[in-house]
Chains A and B, each alone.
Chain A
Amino acid sequence: MSGAPSSAAADALAASIEATIREALGLIRPSAVGIAGDADLAQAADLDSAEVMDLVMEIEDHLDLSIPVETVAQARTIDELCAGILKLKRGTP
């Protein structure tokens, strides 16, 4: 690929990743699908640490992408998860 992706393409990718995260969340905690992007997953979606890891595995299957534990270890919100996965997709550490 040459050059940086256009901002419209980047926005579309981010939006599709967020939609995937919410879809996966819906399978684990249906009531939490609509929580705010910056809401704490542990509190707003009532997910414990093991459930956050299960959520990540759902996302991996949806996106056909392996997400290293280190990528999501610091992610507390949907926005942070999304940012981590975007970086992976773009191949930047």
Chain B
Amino acid sequence: MSLLDKFAAQRALRAGLAESGRVAPIATPMDRIESATAATIDGRGVILAGTNNYLGLTYDATCRAAAIEAIEALGTGTTGSRMASGNYAGHRALEQALATAFGWPACIVFSTGYQANLGALSALAGEGDFLLIDADSHASIHDGCRLSQATTIRFRHNDPENLDRRLARLGEDARRTLVVVESLYSTLGDRAPLREITEVARRHGAWLLVDEAHSFGVFGPRGLGLCEEQGLLDEVDFVVGTFSKSLGSIGGFCLGRHAETELLRMASRPYIFTASPAPPVIAATHQALRRVLEGQDLRARLWRHAERLYAEVARLGYRLGTTSPGPVAAVVFDTRAAALALWQGLLDAGIYTNLMIPPATPAGLCLVRISLSAAHSDDDISKIIAALAAHKQQVEALGAAA
């Protein structure tokens, strides 16, 4: 067997996509982006309803101005790690602003959200320690576990009782265990039972890290996430988040309720061995953070859209990944053909969404993920609902046939 033979499955997938002659449902080529919610695909204008641009801040005038100003003043990149020449005042100010918002003593900024999980998990849990992770965790959490020298154990998705049993089996070692959960799971849009999980972790003396990638900016009075909304900021030990969703840029962070979290910087390889975020990214993110903290107007609009879409999709008879409305609406199917038909139908109607299929999905589900933005207009939401209604019968027939 030769080096590249292992890509047979990918080769077949690529050939199949090319053969269809249609716009590919994965890595869909975007011709041109027009705004936070509009783009051109295959020469046609579409509504973007498959990004993570929950607050629409990628095109916020003040964020763009901050990025441009930073390029003019500081250049396009840092060309150095935070541990070397890339430790600018802007990086430190953003960390300080995030820590202050949470009322916590430590925050570390990473160059991507993926690296935030990689960097936090691999540094926090070392040899002899344990990582107890939700079974449906994002790839960045799984990869962070692989990079750490700790022992990784999965517990059943959103099941505090199952977590409890695994912590009980660890006995004394629970005290050197880091429990890792996401607050909002982006595939099905379901939320973790954070209060119960926090209680279980505390009872066993374990540590808790919550990934707020898809909930930061969306939940809580100041948009700090689901922990803030549920009043758990005094209970959780670490919060990881990303800049590439509600904050509209790229990067990630790890916040700690304990001052020692600051020491992770000295030990985290994904933090040390990469260049620090570019000045325009940091400037735009910092401005976006200000907008999030005072962004009740944006959140109110996003939630109005979410509640309307969830109600209408349920009324149409589609199955959703969860019944609690949120910024992610996953329309779930048993067959790939039905999911693909809806994805294609929506695109033909001028709406871009995400097609998700196994093994990237839990429980072998196939789904079309619609993600909403505060930047969507009421008319955009009406068009999405109308397209869903128009394709219901055709999609249902495919679902039943397979």
Q: How far is B203's CA from A36's CA once the two chains are assembled, in angstroms?
A: 43
Asked whether A50 and B156 contact (CB < 8 A) given A66-B169, A66-B170, the answer is no
Q: Determine the chain A residues whose CB is within 8 A of the CB of B362 once the complex forms.
A: 50
Interface of chain A: mostly helix, strand, loop or mixed? helix
Of B151, B165, B169, B364, the contact of A51 (CB 8 Å cutoff): B364
Select the residue from A50, A64, A70 with max chain B CB neighbours within 10 A. Answer: A50
Q: How far is B166's CA from A67's CA once the two chains are assembled, in angstroms?
A: 10
Q: Indicate whether B152 reaches chain A with its CB closer than 8 angstroms.
A: yes
Q: Determine the chain A residues whose CB is within 8 A of the CB of B375 once the complex forms.
A: none
Asked whether A65 and B152 contact (CB < 8 A) given A50-B359, A53-B135, A57-B135, the answer is no
Q: Contact between B359 and A48 (Cβ–Cβ < 8 Å)?
A: yes
Q: How far is B361's CA from A51's CA once the two chains are assembled, in angstroms?
A: 10
Q: Contact between B358 and A69 (Cβ–Cβ < 8 Å)?
A: no
Q: Determine the chain B residues whose CB is within 8 A of the CB of A51 once the complex forms.
A: 359, 364
Q: Indicate whether A37 reaches chain B with its CB closer than 8 angstroms.
A: no
User: Which residue of B is nearest A73, CB measured?
Assistant: B146
Q: Determine the chain B residues whose CB is within 8 A of the CB of A64 once the complex forms.
A: 165, 169
Residues of A27-81 whose CB lies within 8 A of B: 48-51, 53-54, 56-57, 60-61, 64-70
CB distance from A36 to the nearest CB of B (A): 22
30 A-B interface contacts by CB (under 8 A): A48-B358, A48-B359, A48-B364, A49-B359, A50-B359, A50-B361, A50-B362, A50-B364, A51-B364, A53-B135, A53-B154, A54-B135, A54-B363, A56-B154, A57-B135, A57-B154, A57-B156, A61-B162, A64-B165, A64-B169, A66-B153, A66-B166, A66-B170, A67-B153, A68-B151, A68-B153, A69-B142, A69-B145, A69-B153, A69-B154
Q: Determine the chain A residues whose CB is within 8 A of the CB of B166 once the complex forms.
A: 60, 66
Select the residue from B145, B154, B156, B362 with max chain A CB neighbours within 10 A. Answer: B154
Interface residue total, chain B, C-beta cutoff 8 A: 20
CB distance from A30 to the nearest CB of B (A): 14
- Which A residues form the contact surface with B (CB < 8 A)? 48-51, 53-54, 56-57, 60-61, 64-70
Q: How far is B362's CA from A51's CA once the two chains are assembled, in angstroms?
A: 9
Q: How far is B154's CA from A68's CA once the two chains are assembled, in angstroms?
A: 8
Q: How far is B159's CA from A61's CA once the two chains are assembled, in angstroms?
A: 13
Q: How far is B154's CA from A93's CA once the two chains are assembled, in angstroms?
A: 19
Q: How far is B132's CA from A60's CA once the two chains are assembled, in angstroms?
A: 14
Q: How far is B363's CA from A57's CA once the two chains are assembled, in angstroms?
A: 13
Q: Determine the chain A residues whose CB is within 8 A of the CB of B169 once the complex forms.
A: 64-66
Residues of B358-396 whose CB lies within 8 A of A: 358-359, 361-364
Asked whether A69 and B135 contact (CB < 8 A) given A50-B359, A51-B364, the answer is no
Q: Contact between A68 and B152 (Cβ–Cβ < 8 Å)?
A: yes
Q: How far is B275's CA from A16's CA once the two chains are assembled, in angstroms?
A: 52
Q: Determine the chain B residues whose CB is within 8 A of the CB of A56 once the complex forms.
A: 154
CB distance from B166 to the nearest CB of A (A): 5
User: Which residue of B is nearest A56, CB measured?
Assistant: B154
User: Which residue of A is nearest B142, CB measured?
Assistant: A69
Q: How far is B145's CA from A28's CA once the two chains are assembled, in angstroms?
A: 26
User: Which residue of B is nearest A71, CB measured?
Assistant: B151
User: Which residue of A is nearest B169, CB measured?
Assistant: A66
User: Which residue of B is nearest A49, CB measured?
Assistant: B359
Q: Determine the chain A residues whose CB is within 8 A of the CB of B170 once the complex forms.
A: 66
Of B152, B162, B165, B358, the contact of A50 (CB 8 Å cutoff): B358
User: Which residue of A is nearest B145, CB measured?
Assistant: A69
Q: Determine the chain A residues whose CB is within 8 A of the CB of B142 once the complex forms.
A: 69
Residues of B109-146 whose CB lies within 8 A of A: 135, 142, 145
Q: Determine the chain B residues whose CB is within 8 A of the CB of A57 once the complex forms.
A: 135, 154-156
Asked whether A70 and B152 contact (CB < 8 A) given A48-B358, A50-B358, the answer is yes
CB distance from A86 to the nearest CB of B (A): 18
Q: Determine the chain B residues whose CB is within 8 A of the CB of A50 once the complex forms.
A: 358-359, 361-362, 364
Q: Determine the chain A residues whose CB is within 8 A of the CB of B135 once the complex forms.
A: 53-54, 57
Q: How far is B363's CA from A51's CA once the two chains are assembled, in angstroms?
A: 7
CB distance from A81 to the nearest CB of B (A): 15
Q: Determine the chain A residues whose CB is within 8 A of the CB of B151 once the complex forms.
A: 68, 70
Q: How far is B164's CA from A61's CA once the two chains are assembled, in angstroms?
A: 12
Q: Determine the chain A residues whose CB is within 8 A of the CB of B145 once the complex forms.
A: 69
Q: How far is B166's CA from A65's CA once the two chains are assembled, in angstroms?
A: 8
CB distance from B159 to the nearest CB of A (A): 10
Q: Determine the chain A residues whose CB is within 8 A of the CB of B361 once the complex forms.
A: 50
CB distance from B336 to the nearest CB of A (A): 13
